[in-house]
Structure 1
Amino acid sequence: MTEIDQGIQLMQEGKLEEAAKYFTEAIEKNPEDPVHYINFGNLLLHMKEYQRAVRFYTKATELDDKAATAFYGLGNVYFEQDDFRKARENYQKALALGLEEADVHFMLGMACLYDEKFKIALPYLQRANELKPDDADVLFQYGLALAQTEQLTEAKAIFEQVLELEKEHSDAHYNLGVISLYNDDVNQALAHFDEAIKIQPDHLLASNGKSQIEIMLAENE
C-alpha cells in the first residue's frame, strides 16, 4: 500500500492527523506530483480548512493545468462557502478537462439550483441522473429543477420515480402534494402531505400545506 492509499484509507476512517502525515510524506518525496496536493486538498476540505484547501488545489493546477480533479476540488470548496459562481466555474473546468462523472454534473447542477439558475441546472442534473439512475438524491434534485422551470408533468413523473427508489422520501411526497394542489386535486395533495408528515413529523412545509387545505375545506363547507 502506497502513502496515498494509506492516507486515503486513514481519511476514510476519520484518522485525519495520521492521514495528513502520510500525504505530507508523499509531497516531500515527490513534490512535483499534483495528485499528492489534490489528496491533501481533499483532506483539508473535509476538515473545513477552506483557505488551505484552495492553496493545495491551486498548487496542483499549477503543476498540471489539466488536473480536472483539482478543479473539481476547488468547486467543492467554493460550493461549501456558498460562492456558487466560482463553484460553477471550477466544475465547468473539470468537465471541460474530461472529468465525466455523475458527481461533477450533480454538483454543477446543484450550484446552479442554489444560484436560482434553474434552466441551466437542468441538463447537468439530467446527465447526473443518466450516469447514476438509481440515486434517489440525484433524481429528486432533477425533479426539483423541472418543477422550478414549471415542467410539472415531467416533475411529477420524476418524484414518483424517487418514491419507487426510496418509499419513505418525505420531500418527494411534499412536492407531489404541491403539484397536486396546483392541478386542483385537493384530496391527492392532502394524501401526499399526510404521508410526508407520517414519514417526517417535523416536516413544516407539509404541515403548513395540510393546514391551508383544511382551512380551505372548512370555509367551503
Structure 2
Amino acid sequence: MHRYKDALACFDQAIEKNPEDYEYFIHKGDTLRFMNRAKEALDCYHQAIQRSPNDEKTYEAKAQALRLQNRYEEALMYFDKAIQINPTKWILYSGKGDTLRDMNRYEDSLKYFDLAIQYNPEDSQQYGAKADSLRHLNRFDEALKYANLALKWNPNLADNYELKANILKFQLKIEEALKFFDEAIKRNPEGSKYYAEKADTLRAVNRNQDALKFCDIALRIEPYNPNYILIKIVTLMQMNRWNESSELYQLLQYLCPNKQQLEHFNRAILIQMQQYNQSFGQY
C-alpha cells in the first residue's frame, strides 16, 4: 500500500509539471484502481480522455474502473469505444467478454473470447475465460477442451488447474478434480482459494474431516474470508458439531456488511444442507 501511495505522489508531481500529458493521468488512474479507489480513478481517466480522445488505452482503463463499481453497461460502452479505435487489440475483446461474464451473459461472452483468441492465440487467459463461460452453460466437454488449451499454453499457472478441477467437479469426477486442486496448490501454495475449493469439494462428498483440514489452511491464510467461514460452518453442521458452527456463524454475521449479504449466506447454508440431506440422509 505504501508503494501505491508513493506512486500517487510521483504522478501528482508529474501532472503538476506537465498537466497536458494524458499518460500521467492514466498511470495515476491505474494506481487508484489497484487501490480499489475506482471513483477517483474514473476522474483521472476522464481527464486523460479530454486530453487524448483517440487512445484506446484510456477507454479500456475507464471500462475496467467501471467494472469495479459494477457499472457493467457503461463498461461495455467504453470497451466498444476502445475497440472502435483499435479493432485488433485482443485484450479489449477479453475485457468485454469478462464484463459480460460478470453480468452472467455467458453465451454472449463466448463471441468476444473467440475474437481475443483470434488476435492472440497463444495467451492462456482467453482459453480459460471461454472454458469458464462454457462451464456455466453446462457445456462441460467443450469447457474441458478449452481448459486443456489453457494448460497447454501456460502449464505453470495455478488458476488453470483450478479451472479444470472445477469443471471436473461439476461432472462429478471428484477424484480427478481433487488431483487438479492439488496441482494448483503445488504451483501457488499461498493461494487460499485452492484450499477452500478443495475443502468444499470434499465437504460435498461427505469427507468432512478432510474438508476441515483444508478449510483451516485457507482460513490461516485469510482468516476473515466469509466464503471460507461459510464452508467451515456447513462442514461442521454436517458433522453435527452445532456449538462450533454456531460460534462461527456469529463471526459470519459480524463480517457481513449488510443484511442482503447475510441473507445470501443463509440461503447458501440452507441449500447446501438440503443437498447433504438428500445425498446422505437426515442431519
| 1:176 counterpart = 2:168 | yes
| 1:84 counterpart = 2:79 | no
Which residue number corresponds to residue 194 of structure 1? Answer: 178
Deviations 1:163-202 (A, max 9, x none): 44437613312203424x4xxxxxxx13323324544443
Q: CA RMSD in A?
A: 3.1
Q: Conserved in 2, the CA contact under 8 Å of 1:68 and 1:99? A: no
* Residues 207/141 of structure 1: CA separation in 2 closer, same or farther (3 Å cut): farther
Larger deviation: 86-95 or 204-213?
204-213
Matches within 5 A, 1:50-89: 50-89=38-77
TM-score, normalising length: structure 2? 0.59
* Residues 112/195 of structure 1: CA separation in 2 closer, same or farther (3 Å cut): same
Query: In structure 2, what is the Cα distance between the partners aligned to 1:201 and 1:47?
Result: 26
Which residue number corresponds to residue 27 of structure 2? Answer: 39
Larger deviation: 66-75 or 127-136?
127-136
Q: Determine what percentage of the aligned residue pairs are the same residue.
A: 18
Query: In structure 1, what is the Cα distance between the partners aligned to 2:7 and 2:196?
Result: 39
Deviations 1:93-127 (A, max 9, x none): 11111164333222211110110111211122223
Query: In structure 2, what is the Cα distance between the partners aligned to 1:21 and 1:158?
Result: 43
Which residue number corresponds to residue 155 of structure 2? Answer: 166
List alignment gaps of at least 5 residues for structure 1: 1-10, 182-188
* Residues 17/171 of structure 1: CA separation in 2 closer, same or farther (3 Å cut): closer
Letter of the 1:173 counterpart: A
Deviations 1:37-64 (A, max 9, x none): 2222112222222222111111111223
TM-score, normalising length: structure 1? 0.73
Matches within 5 A, 1:129-168: 129-164=117-152, 165-166=154-155
Which residue number corresponds to residue 262 of structure 2? Answer: none
Query: In structure 1, what is the Cα distance between the partners aligned to 2:202 and 2:53?
Result: 50
